[in-house]
Amino acid sequence: MSSVAAQQHFSASPMSNGSFAIKIEAPAGSTLYSLSKATGSDIASLRSINKKNSDALSLHEVITLPINSEKIWNSNTGLSSPIPVYYRVKKGDNLYRISTKLSYTAEDLVVLNNKSSASLAWEEELLLGWIDWPYAATEATPVAIVGTQSQTSPASTSLSVERKQGYIVADIGSYISAVTDLSEPKAINIPALSDMDMEVKQEVYKEKGIAYWEKSKYQSKEMIVMHPHAKVDSKISLYNPMLRRKVQAKVVSEMPKEAYPEDISIVISPSVASALGALDRRFQVEITYVQ
């Protein structure tokens, strides 16, 4: 067996409640509340698991964090700070049983790990997916990754899109062409801590609807969308229930309702459609966003 190239990663362990968990040293500036948001964990459960009476954490304090399956993505595209999550295969494991703890299928895990079959080797390191992690990936007990396949987690890079006030377009490709100058690099906009705190406290909305996309002469790799209610410049999550694929994208503009049929809920770029496995211009999605 060959060792995987060294990289930041998390090693997951199964929990009795059917979820995966990671054990880390508390990052500087983190609290139980901020970690619960990053992992989708219930704050009360985190206090109970870690025997805590408050949300305060000491630097390098060892914390166990269950990860909500919706926080583990089968693609690192569109994530701000993707960190791969691995699981060491144990006796009695199979891909189907492992996939029940995730939001995608055993077949997805086969593709994700570049496997030729669904068979597993004992102590094989299986890539479960990626988590969007705003801190350095410091585990409490680092584990050497060993497996039959080499995995990499390329850094996620993108150009920031500068929104022009009052600019309304019907085609998302035209929007990018109009507001993005590719001749000069754009700095990534990192919000101030106060802005991040405000966004954490915003209410999250979920809805089912129809996504629409069309091929554009402007060939961009931007993971962007237009939505009638989501906050501009925020991240929006999209899930394709037919293929069990999910991605995150940036909201660049309010969707001009008058430009689309009434049943269209969101307009997405070709890159978002590709990541969701869409073939038809219109398809059903589940949307999670903040206003």
Distances (CA, A) of 90 to 24, 97, 104, 132, 234: 21, 12, 20, 26, 39
- What is the chain's alpha carbon radius of gyration, rounded to the nearest angstrom? 20
Q: What is the pLDDT of residues 225-272, one digit of tens each?
A: 889 989 888 889 999 988 888 888 888 888 877 778 888 999 998 888
Residue 188 has pLDDT above 60, yes or no: no
Q: What is the pLDDT of residues 228-239, one digit of tens each?
A: 989 888 889 999
CA distance 240 to 276: 6
**For residues 122-145, average pLDDT:** 74
- For tokens 């969707």, name the residue: 255
**For residues 102-117, average pLDDT:** 86
Residue 276 has pLDDT above 50, yes or no: yes
Amino acid letter for position 101: K
Higher pLDDT, 163 or 200: 200
Q: Where in the chain is the domain with CATH 2.40.40.10?
A: 172-290
Distances (CA, A) of 170 to 56, 223, 226, 268: 47, 17, 10, 12
CA distance 266 to 209: 8
What is the CATH superfamily name and number for domain 172-290? Answer: RlpA-like domain (2.40.40.10)
Residue 285 has pLDDT above 90, yes or no: yes
Cα pseudo-dihedral 217, 211, 281, 242, rounded to 10: 130
* Length in residues, the chain: 291
Give one word for 283, left, alpha or beta, with left for phi > 0 and alpha for psi -120 to 50: beta
3-class SS of residue 208: strand
- For tokens 């190239």, name the residue: 5
Q: What is the pLDDT of residues 72-98, one digit of tens each?
A: 988 888 888 889 999 999 888 888 888
Return the structure tokens found at 221.
Answer: 């790799």
Amino acid letter for position 77: T
